[in-house]
Amino acid sequence: MTEDSAVRRVHIIQGEFKVLNDPNAVLSTILGSCVAACLRDPIAGVGGMNHFLLPGSANPGSGGGDATRYGVHLMELLINGLLKQGARRERLEAKVFGGAKTIATFSNVGEQNAAFAMQFLRDEGIKVVGSSTGGEHGRKLEFWPVSGRARQYPLTGAETQKTVALEQRPVPVSKPVESSIEFF
């Protein structure tokens, strides 16, 4: 079976990450100013992708917010998910995509997202083996987590605007799980 005829297609939306060790799976997402980091351990045969909207992390005084929108949170979740599946930190390699400036009149959060991802990976000692960031149009991304192959398709102006609209809608904040543990 070839990588193009992947049996399992898993779509990642803003605020999500997935880790897979299935050679017949492909992860996909649509990016505007958001960034997706694709990491894998070629020896363990495991890889994953995240999709974040904002660089850094939430301001402590900002009333909480949804941590899944922020790069720090999703980068940590992705790395920890890979380690739980047998990856070793020193073998991780990364590819970074997205970060377009999709609306000329807005600040360039896409550039900030891409710069954050690259700096985070440098700080963690994770080798970046490929990247495609910036530009004025969004992109559709496919990543095969076991082989590390990545493919992107540029979006047209209309498709990019649709992606921008999705990125600007509020992400529902999940309620904390009720705990039955009582501390004395």
Which of 34, 38, 46, 155 is catalytic? The answer is: 34
Q: Are strands 127-133 and 35-41 parallel, antiparallel or unpaired?
A: unpaired
Q: Which residues contact 109 (CB under 8 A, 6 or more apart)?
A: 33, 54, 55
38 annotated active-site: no
Nearest Cα to 115, choosing from 103, 126, 131, 102? Answer: 131
Strand order in 25-31's β-sheet?
A: 8-11, 25-31, 139-143, 150-154
Catalytic residues: 34
